[in-house]
Amino acid sequence: MQSSSFTLSHNPSFSFQNPKQTHFIPFNPIRFSSNAVSFSSFTRQSWPLPLSSSFKFRPRPSLATSFPDPFQPRAVSVPENAENSEDASSSLVKTLQLGSLFGLWYLFNIYFNIYNKQVLKAAHFPVTVTAVQFAVGSVLVAFMWGFNLYKRPKLSGAQLAAILPLAVVHTLGNLFTNMSLGKVAVSFTHTIKAMEPFFSVILSAMFMGERPTPWVVGSLVPIVGGVALASITEASFNWAGFWSAMASNVTNQSRNVLSKKVMVKKEDSMDNITLFSIITVMSFFLLAPAAVFLEGVKFTPAYLESAGLNVRQVYIRSLLAALCFHAYQQVSYMILQRVSPVTHSVGNCVKRVVVIVSSVIFFKTAVSPVNAFGTAIALTGVFLYSRVKRIKSKPKTA
């Protein structure tokens, strides 16, 4: 069979018409061997293109190049001040949150002292009142753990044994505070409790071997002098209330010292709120039997009615006092997780001022100018103590 070649041509040229000129796209025909099948019957027409055509063929750009992939990450220009703006807004939000926590801390403290004083004044059973406060706190802790609002800890026997001394001094500290509030004015109790830094320095030196700096010792002078001046001129002064507040200072600062000595493993994730919750539950189980033994069952409706008290009013105020007690403690630990201990100490000093002033206004406590001056000196010393506490003494060179 005679060999032959066939030209496959299917619309081999494309003409682009515009008003000015016409371009022809050159097409190179495909050659087939003799064994190939001819498709000339399917070709309608063929146009020969001159090789001298001035139009140069350029490959058509890919669609992927013309239309970028919408899922492909692309760089976006960001204004230079966008990052600074985000940092500023984030800092503002954190500041507002911290300010709100401080406000709640002070507010819960004010209402706790007001409702607590009203209950203790109507029914002077400080052990029972304190036990009720721990009972309400235990119910709140069980609610948080039961509904997974806060992580429930897994405790070992060794951990419980280490936390037990903390629970004991925590129980005594709150009990002595309520005993003092039942005997003297709220403002005087908190003026005496301004001496907490004095006992903190003494106990830390005795049990931790920490030597205070001269600045710390100097700040204790106005604290002690101011409390002494306020005590001499206090209209509601009595020794039971005075020594109860002093005992509260000793036990509360003993708790702080024990907290430093008790080592809690980091892998157990024992944060301050969890530790406080455990102490609250343990304090209830420690104090409830003592309340029944020392004061009997005094919060029954029959007994309160026989004492001429408004049962509903006593119950509501006791519940509100217990809720505020637990709330301000929780908020205090939340603040401590966000700020330094020095800042927290300064906030605690301001809180004491707010509580004293609000209680004087609410209960219309008679305060002499000398008494107010002594209280102001003591609180100024507390503020100075919180500021100079971070000053470290220089090590002696040989």
The answer to whether 274 touches 153, Cβ cutoff 8 Å, is: yes
Give the DSSP per-residue string, 195-221: GHHHHHHHHIIIII-PPPPHHHHHHHH
* Average pLDDT of the segment spanning 64-89: 58
Is residue 72 in some structural domain?
Answer: no
Q: Which residues contact 180 (CB under 8 A, 6 or more apart)?
A: 189, 192, 241, 242, 244, 245, 248
Per-residue pLDDT tens digits for 339-365: 877 777 788 888 999 999 999 999 998
Measure the CA dihedral 376/377/382/383, to 10°. 70
* Average pLDDT of the segment spanning 21-42: 46
Per-residue pLDDT tens digits for 125-155: 999 999 999 999 999 999 999 888 888 888 8
Domain that holds residue 167: 101-216+237-337
Rounded mean pLDDT of the chain? 79
Prediction pTM value: 0.72
Is residue 199 in some structural domain?
Answer: yes
pLDDT tier, 157 (very low <50, low <70, confident <90, very high otherwise): confident
Is residue 320 in some structural domain?
Answer: yes
pLDDT at 212 over 80: yes
pLDDT at 327 over 90: yes
Show the tokens assigned to 45.
């027409």
* Average pLDDT of the segment spanning 42-52: 47
pLDDT at residue 54 in the model: 46
Is residue 384 in some structural domain?
Answer: no
pLDDT at residue 196 in the model: 86
Is residue 65 in some structural domain?
Answer: no
pLDDT at 74 over 60: no
How many domains is the chain built from? 1
Is residue 111 in some structural domain?
Answer: yes
Instruction: Please tell me which residue, 272 or 114, carries the higher pLDDT value.
Output: 114
Name the strand (E) or helix (H) holding 326. helix 311-336
pLDDT at 171 over 90: yes
Is residue 148 in some structural domain?
Answer: yes
When mean pLDDT is compared over 39-43, 173-177, 256-260, the highest value belongs to: 173-177
Per-residue pLDDT tens digits for 264-312: 444 455 777 888 899 999 999 999 999 999 988 888 888 888 888 899 9
Show the tokens assigned to 205.
């030196």
Q: What percent of the chain has pLDDT over 90?
A: 38
pLDDT at 15 over 90: no
pLDDT at residue 42 in the model: 44
- Which residue from 383, 333, 16, 342 is spatially nearest to 222, judged by alpha carbons? 383
Instruction: Please tell me which residue, 183 or 207, carries the higher pLDDT value.
Output: 183
Is residue 181 in some structural domain?
Answer: yes
